[in-house]
């Protein structure tokens, strides 16, 4: 077993405090009802916000549930009633859920459902989209 001296512990604590002082620390988080965004405020005055319902597990949440957001230490966000936790770093890097969820969000309107394929074929049989009429002044 390795023993750490009081002096080594004090130096480690000083290094940690110096490193911590150099980076912004989240100090508060809130849900903004008007914009439906979560806003994280940092010690350096910066803010980070994102659309709350873009997160996996929060898509169908009520405004009251979204407003329950709390800081999880200095690194995360937590919604107790939704059983959802996210790291602030992950959110700032655009990670709003699992890989499968993110891929589905990215595809969005690119889906090729049978109904969409049928509608596209029917439109094509009619000659495609109508041309925009040119207006002359």
CATH (one of 3.40.50.261, 1.10.760.10, 3.30.2020.40, 3.10.20.600) for 24-97: 3.30.2020.40
pLDDT at residue 112 is higher than 80:
no
pLDDT at 29: 98
Per-residue pLDDT tens over the stretch 10-59 = 999 999 888 877 788 999 999 999 999 999 999 999 999 999 999 999 99
**91: its two tokens:** 């959110």
The answer on pLDDT for 133 being more than 70 is no
- Overall pTM > 0.85: no
Mean pLDDT of the chain: 87
């Amino acid at each position: 077993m390795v023993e750490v001296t009081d002096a080594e512990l004090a130096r480690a604590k000083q290094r940690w405090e110096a490193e911590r002082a150099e980076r912004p620390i989240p100090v508060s988080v809130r849900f903004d009802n008007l914009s439906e965004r979560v806003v994280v405020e940092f010690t350096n005055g910066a803010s980070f916000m994102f659309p709350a319902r873009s997160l996996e597990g929060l898509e169908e949440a009520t405004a009251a549930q979204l407003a329950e957001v709390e800081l999880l230490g200095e690194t995360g966000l937590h919604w107790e009633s939704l059983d959802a936790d996210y790291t602030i770093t992950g959110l700032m890097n655009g990670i709003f859920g699992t890989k499968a969820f993110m891929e589905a969000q990215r595809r969005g309107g690119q889906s090729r459902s049978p109904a969409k394929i049928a509608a596209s074929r029917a439109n094509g049989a009619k000659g495609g989209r109508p041309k925009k009429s040119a207006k002359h002044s």
